[in-house]
Amino acid sequence: MSIEMPAAEVYGLANALRGAVGDAEEIGVRLRKTPQVGPGLQAAVETFLESHRAAGRALAGELGWLGDTVAAVADSWLRLDGSLLGPYRRPRDE
C-alpha cells in the first residue's frame, strides 16, 4: 500500500498536531481547582482530577513529539527527493 501526500500537507499535519498541544495543556488549567465535595469523597476526587491533569500533560508531550516527528518525516522526504532528482534537474533560466 502506498499513500501519496505532498510534503506541504505533511507539514500541515505536523502544525495541526503542534497546535493541539495548547488544547491538551488547557486540561490541567481547567482542572486546577478541586471542588469541595466533603470528607468522604474529597481524596477520591483529588486523585481523579490529578490523574486527568497528568494525562493532559502526557497528551501535550506526545502531541508535541508527534508533531516534531511528522515534520521530520516531511524533511526526510524532501531531502530524499532532492538527492534523487538533484543530478537530473535542469538549470534554472535566469
Residue 1 has a pLDDT of 74
Residue 94 has a pLDDT of 47
3-state secondary structure the chain: CCCCCCHHHHHHHHHHHHHHHHHHHHHHHHCCCCCCCCCCCHHHHHHHHHHHHHHHHHHHHHHHHHHHHHHHHHHHHHHHHHHHHHHHCCCCCC
Give pLDDT tens digits for 22-79.
Answer: 999 999 899 999 889 999 999 999 999 999 999 999 999 999 999 999 999 999 988 8
Mean pLDDT within 15-21: 96
Residue 86 has a pLDDT of 66
